[in-house]
Amino acid sequence: MKKFISILASLLLLLVYLPTDSKAAELVKYPFEVNVSVYLSASVTLTVNGNYQLYNKDTGEITPVPKGTSITVKKDGSNVSVSMNGSNLNAVKGFDLQEQIGDGSSLVRVSNGITYRGSFFLKPNGSKIEIINILDMEDYLKGVVPSEMPASFPKEALKAQAIAARSYAANTLMLTSTASSQVYRGYTGEDARTNTAIKETEGLLVKYNGKPIQAFFFSTSGGKTANVGDVWNSKQEQYPYLVSVDDPYESSPFSNWSETFTPETLLKSFGFKDLSAQIYDITLSKTGANGEVSGVTLKTSAGDKTVTGNESVIRSYFPISNPQLYNKLQSNWFDIQTNGSAAENLSVQTSSGTSDLGDIKGQKVQTANGEVTLTDSKVSIQTANGVITNEGTTGNITSITLNGKGWGHRIGMSQYGAKGFAEKGWTAEQILTHYFQGTTVSK
């Protein structure tokens, strides 16, 4: 018995004197973890306000990070270098800034001016440091929903946005903080109204055949959403829920729009070297069910050029100096109006009367040496009064106006359309199952 008491006392003493500074505290666990790339720079500063520890991914060493600590992270050769409180740490694989269980929320402010919840991976990326925010899905959505949809929109629209954003994130391994996936502004972007909508839809997903879908969304449809196969390089049969539907209640600043371009702007955008060339005509290939454009042909004095592609490609050929619109055309659903005089109207006498010609180029003409096909729109013709020519009268277009509808890719849920449906009394579930045909909403 004395021997047992002696051993017990020795164990207690050992526990008392064990060093505690290198022991990991209990870490926060995220039920549905998401990873978001939020910043990329040669040097990053993080200001910690909460309970954190720094984990060296090379050695496994743990360093406590007191509240209020400022951490500077740089790429130093092959190492990620961390400086804080007068000490320097290095790791080739980088560091984890891990959130510990404590009293209150733990937050970190990054040098991009945004504060985030959760933990962080300080990751080497070439000559720069990439900051990966690691947190629970529901906290992630708090920084997404008000960044993607105005928090002033009706609650059912906000709830539909929360469910759609959750469904999109559930299908994405690595998210970004920009519109290339979903706009995310962390804790800085949160709003009490959208936090409530997220809480009231916690865990809900849009599903097709029991699986979460690619729940795409955008600003404005212009009255009809698009078939995914009409605007992206996607096989329609693989996405039966991404089909064109009516958007009857949408009221948006982007429902209808017009943009005017100079010939020089389009010549440059289409890759012509001679920016003084004349534009004779511009034509569209509309292959989408609603008339979405998949190809544009520019006829000029320097030759003709046709460009084809998905909605993003087509929109990029019409640059707009507006960062809000990402400096490109609002959508690929548009018509074209030429301003000034296009090719001079020409007509030909036939046995049945006079017939108008849109363009001489490509027409067949009978000559003394046989039939020839004209390779140019500029021609000279012998008449009883001498030779006449149309040179100088063709291609006098002074500007090109595009009249279009909608903003964005127009696939899935229209955010302004969801607002309109909510104002008509539709629930979030009804809104989502309208835009995503054949789907259900459940956990």
Phi, psi values for residue 200, rounded to 5° = -75, -10
Question: Of 139, 131, 115, which is closest to residue 49 (Cα–Cα)?
Answer: 115
Phi then psi for 336, rounded to 5 degrees?
Answer: -120, 140
Looking up tokens 């790339």 gives 37
**Position with higher pLDDT, 390 vs 404:** 404
Whether 123 and 175 have beta carbons less than 8 Å apart is answered as no
Q: What is the dihedral of CA 416, 419, 423, 426, to 10 degrees?
A: 120
Residue 143 to residue 151: CA distance in whole angstroms? 12
**Going by C-beta distance under 8 Å and a sequence separation of 6 or more, which residues neighbour residue 304?**
297, 298
101-110, 242-251, 370-379 — most confident range: 242-251
306 token code pair: 């046709």
Nearest to 141 by CA among 125, 121, 124, 164: 164
Backbone phi and psi for residue 373, each to the nearest 5 degrees, phi listed first: -105, 125
What confidence tens digit (pLDDT) does each residue in 44-86 have? 999 999 999 999 999 999 999 999 999 999 999 999 999 999 9
What is the pLDDT, as a whole number, of residue 369?
A: 77
Between residues 396 and 62, the one the model is more confident about: 62
- Phi, then psi, of 343 in degrees rounded to 5: -60, 135
Is the pLDDT higher at 352 or at 42?
A: 42
63: which DSSP letter? E
- Among 43-47, 68-72, 358-362, 413-417, the minimum mean pLDDT is found in 358-362
Q: Enter the tokens of residue 441.
A: 């909403």
Q: Would you list the DSSP string of 139-203?
A: HHHHHHHHHHS-TTS-HHHHHHHHHHHHHHHHT-SSEESSTTS----TGGG--HHHHHHHHHTTT
pLDDT of residue 73: 98
pLDDT of residue 337: 95
Say whether pLDDT at 358 is over 90. Answer: no
> Domain-by-domain residue ranges, the chain?
33-137, 139-217+409-442, 256-341+397-405
Q: Are 72 and 41 in contact (CB under 8 A)?
A: no
* pLDDT bracket for residue 357 (50, 70, 90): low
Give pairs for 137-140: CB < 8 Å, separation 24+: 137/30, 137/31, 137/32, 137/33, 137/34, 137/166, 137/169, 137/170, 138/32, 138/198, 138/199, 138/202, 140/34, 140/36, 140/169, 140/175, 140/184
CA atoms within 13 A on the CB side of 343: 19
**116 neighbors 159 (Cβ within 8 angstroms):** no
Q: How far is CA 312 from CA 157, 335, 339, 372, 406, in A?
A: 26, 17, 26, 41, 14
- Residue 351 scores a pLDDT above 90: no
- What is the reported pLDDT for 367? 76
pTM of the model: 0.83
Give the CA distances from residue 373 to residues 207, 343, 347, 349, 379, in Å, rounded to whole numbers and listed in that order.
58, 19, 17, 18, 12
Q: What is the DSSP letter of 253?
A: T
- Note whether 195 and 189 are within 8 A (CB): no
